[in-house]
Amino acid sequence: MNVALLMADQCSSTSVAAALEFFETANVLHHYAQDKQARQQAGSTPLFHLHTASLDGQPVACTGGLRLTPDWAIADLPPCELVVVPGFMFNILGVLPRLSTMIDWLRQQHQQGRYIASLCTGAFVTAQAGLLDGRSATTHWAFSEQFARRFPKVRLHTERTVTDDGQLLCSGGSTSCSDLLLHLIRKFASPQLAAECAKKLLVDVTARSQMPYASTTFKKNHSDAEVLRLQIWLEKHLSSPVQLEQLAEQFGLSPRNLIRRFKDATGQTPMQYLQELRIEKAKLLLETSEDAFEQITLQVGYEDGNSFRRLFKQRVGLAPSAYRKRFASRPAQAAITAAPSARPGAAPADGAAPPPAAAP
């Protein structure tokens, strides 16, 4: 299978390198999984033929300054059944206007029946080509609002790390590109090979969600000074009981007018905004304190620990205990013990490592 790995200035070098290494790992493990006779007959023919390409065939400067040299210009690529669009870290909106040539080429590839897999914010490139309209997609959670506003026809599933809508596939933020690359190996090779790649690369193959990693953005770049004053007040008093009628009276507005102005400015009602503040505060306390969840519940303005626990899991995608285990910033105990000393007289390891174990 021919695979085109695209590159462009300011793309993520990590996404390009990950794609190369995952597919190459699949090639190596597939080779050793065959019996000797099959290997001799197949020679050195890889399972995935990898072709890197930039817009003009020239080296590209990735985010952070690393330069990558492609094999091809996209116009000269041999026919490829699968095209991989790289991620662009946090500069996708600035880079997108300079990718018109790539966007036109992607349209042509889609019309010719190619599979197109977009890593992270690479989904913006595929969506700009109009290919994701009416299709399921995902992208980095931090860009979900911009994506939804720019491409309202796309069925965006920000909570997912991978979407597969036939010939169009996407991954969520950064490291979740590994989820999509394993999915591609599973889709175009076999589940057994994908599982063996995951083992060799130490990648978790369990289903994941972006939800635990997402942080709410509290919109304050609006022109309503009274709403901004209310936002600041809510931040300072999130642990206190808050009633909408009391807020309206305190700020000299009717409840209806308060809700309208607040939603126009922030996209949320005051009580929705307060709930998000409390969730984010609880996440911070779970990350940085030893407080029991019942204490945290009170600190963020809730009285019923069980109901807040259910709300937390619903909004974050993890139970509080699981969230603390994953994200706590306290110094962790060493997870790796010292290796036992070599036996007296034991011979040192020699030469190159043996070939990888064959996939089952």
Domains of the chain in start order, with CATH, are: 2-213 (3.40.50.880), 225-327 (1.10.10.60)
Q: What is the pLDDT of residue 125?
A: 97
Residue 132 and residue 168 in contact, taking contact as beta carbons nearer than 8 Å: yes
Residue 182 and residue 198 in contact, taking contact as beta carbons nearer than 8 Å: yes
DSSP 292-310: -HHHHHHHTT-S-HHHHHH
Instruction: Give the burial class of 233: count Cβ atoms within 10 A of its Cβ; 0-12 exposed, 13-18 middle, 19 or more buried.
Output: middle
Q: Is the pLDDT of residue 335 over 60?
A: no
216 vs 354 pLDDT, higher one: 216
Per-residue confidence band for 28, with pLDDT thresholds at 50, 70 and 90: very high
Q: 50 vs 56, 214, 233, 288, CA distance in Å? A: 18, 33, 56, 44
pLDDT 10s digits, 92-124 = 999 999 999 999 999 999 999 999 999 999 999
Q: Which two tokens stand for residue 194?
A: 């994908």
Task: Give the separation between CA 26 and CA 197, rounded to whole angstroms.
Answer: 6
Q: Per-residue pLDDT averaged across 251-266, rounded?
A: 92
Per-residue confidence band for 38, with pLDDT thresholds at 50, 70 and 90: low
Q: Per-residue pLDDT averaged across 75-89, rounded?
A: 94
Alpha helices in the chain (DSSP H): 13-33, 36-42, 92-95, 100-111, 123-128, 144-150, 177-188, 191-201, 225-236, 244-250, 255-266, 270-288, 293-299, 305-316, 320-327
Q: Which two tokens stand for residue 332?
A: 């962790």
Quote the percentage of the chain above a pLDDT of 70.
84
DSSP 95-127: HGGG-HHHHHHHHHHHHTT-EEEE-GGGHHHHH
Task: Give the separation between CA 87 and CA 66, rounded to whole angstroms.
Answer: 15
pLDDT 10s digits, 50-65 = 999 999 999 999 988 8
Task: Give the separation between CA 70 and CA 134, rounded to whole angstroms.
Answer: 33
82 vs 337 pLDDT, higher one: 82
Query: Which 3 state secondary structure label does DSSP give 54?
Result: strand
Q: What are phi and psi of 98, to 5 degrees?
A: -90, 5
